[in-house]
Amino acid sequence: MNRYFRIFLILVAVVQALFAVGFALRVEVITRAWILPNTSILSFIFIGSIFAAAAASTLWCIFTAEEGALAGIGLDYLTILAPLSIFSLQIANGSTRLMVFAGLCIAGAVVGLAIFLHTRGITIRDTRPQPRLVRYSFIVFIIALLIVGGGLALKMPDVLPWIVTPEGSVMYGWMFLGAAAYFAYALLRPSWGNSSGQLIGFLAYDLVLILPFITRFSTEIPPQYVVGHIIYTIVVIYSAVLAIYFLFINPSTRLSR
Q: Of 99, 98, 107, 43, whose CA–CA distance to 77 is shortest?
A: 107
Over residues 93-107, the pLDDT tens digits come to: 989 999 999 999 999
- The total number of structural domains in the chain stands at 1
| CA angle in degrees (0–180, nearest 5) for 170-186-55 | 60
256 occurs within a structural domain: no
Encoded amino acid at 165, one letter: T
pLDDT at 1: 75
pLDDT at 58: 97
Q: CA-CA distance, 210 to 149, in Å (whole number)?
A: 20
Over residues 14-52, the pLDDT tens digits come to: 999 999 999 999 999 999 989 999 999 999 999 999 999
Distance of alpha carbon 83 from the chain centroid: 15
68 occurs within a structural domain: yes
pLDDT at 256: 58
Those residues with Cβ within 8 angstroms of residue 223's Cβ, 6 or more apart along the chain or in another chain: none
* φ and ψ of 164, to 5 deg: -135, 135
Cα first-last separation, the chain: 26
User: Does the reported pTM lie above 0.75?
Assistant: yes
Range of the domain at 54: 3-249
Q: DSSP letter for 165, please.
A: -
254 occurs within a structural domain: no
Q: CA-CA distance, 35 to 165, in Å (whole number)?
A: 12
pLDDT at 257: 53
Q: Collect the ranges in the chain with pLDDT lower than 70.
A: 256-257
Those residues with Cβ within 8 angstroms of residue 226's Cβ, 6 or more apart along the chain or in another chain: 161
